Amino acid sequence: MTYFSDVAALARKDLLLELRAKETLPSMILFVLAALTIFHFALPGGTAHKAALGLLWAALIFTALLGLTRAFVAEREQGMFDALVLAPCDRSAIWLGKSIAVFAFIACAEVVALPAFAAFFSGIDGRTVAAVALADVGICTVGTLFGAMAVAGRARELLLPLLFLPMAIPIVVGGVGGYLWFLALYDAVFALLAWAAFEYVVSEV
């Protein structure tokens, strides 16, 4: 129970900080709405639904990247990352707590983005919504690991996209194709790898 109490406390900390600062979530919502609006006016009428889905996934991936970039900002700006790592809790609890907080931010942005996509383009079906939900798990678990790796670098804003975007390619492929089984497998494999690797990653940061 102590492990999950630590996870809940860490996730709650990030969520409360966001509620007070109101920096990450508004930026994500504005970005994804702006991207979908640009796609709507840039695409010719009658564009195939598959092509529109590809643009949706591009918008969601880059919106998630914006949230991941902010994941460790509070600890970095206040010089508290070392203190967080040295806290008397399992280090993987830090990864899981951060992943849950990022998942909440992304999910809130998608609550706005998916209806906007449905209004701009040719609607949206349940399979796409399920694919987005599964993809969010992989995005958060892998992205949080890379966020911890990038936080100590000088070019953190550049390093995180370089690490994360190649790993996001299978998510886009699975999402556009509606391959739910593939996304579920991706989540299971990479969540386990990220959970196991996080302790060693932060030890080197």
- Determine the pLDDT at residue 205: 56
Distance CA 121, CA 45 (A): 9
Higher pLDDT, 135 or 7: 135
What is the identity of the amino acid at 78? Q
Buried b (16+ CB within 10 A) or exposed e, 9-44: ebbeebbeebeeeeebbebbbebbbebbeebbeeee
Name the token pair of 198.
């996080």
- Determine the pLDDT at residue 52: 84
- pTM equals 0.89
Q: Compute the Cα dihedral for 85, 193, 167, 180 and give only its sign.
A: negative
Q: Report pLDDT digits (tens) over 31-73.
A: 999 999 998 888 776 667 778 888 899 999 999 999 898 887 7
Report residue 1's pLDDT band, with 50, 70 and 90 as the boundaries.
low
Over the chain, what is the mean pLDDT?
A: 86
Distance CA 24, CA 68 (A): 9
Distance CA 53, CA 82 (A): 41
Q: Report pLDDT digits (tens) over 101-128.
A: 999 999 999 999 999 999 888 778 889 9
Give the percent of the chain with pLDDT over 90: 46
Within the chain, residue ranges assigned H as helices are 2-21, 24-42, 49-69, 73-77, 81-85, 91-120, 126-150, 156-177, 180-204
> Poorest-confidence range of 24-28, 90-94, 155-159?
155-159
User: What average pLDDT does the segment 154-166 reach?
Assistant: 84
| Parent domain of 180 | 2-204
Give the count of domains, the chain. 1
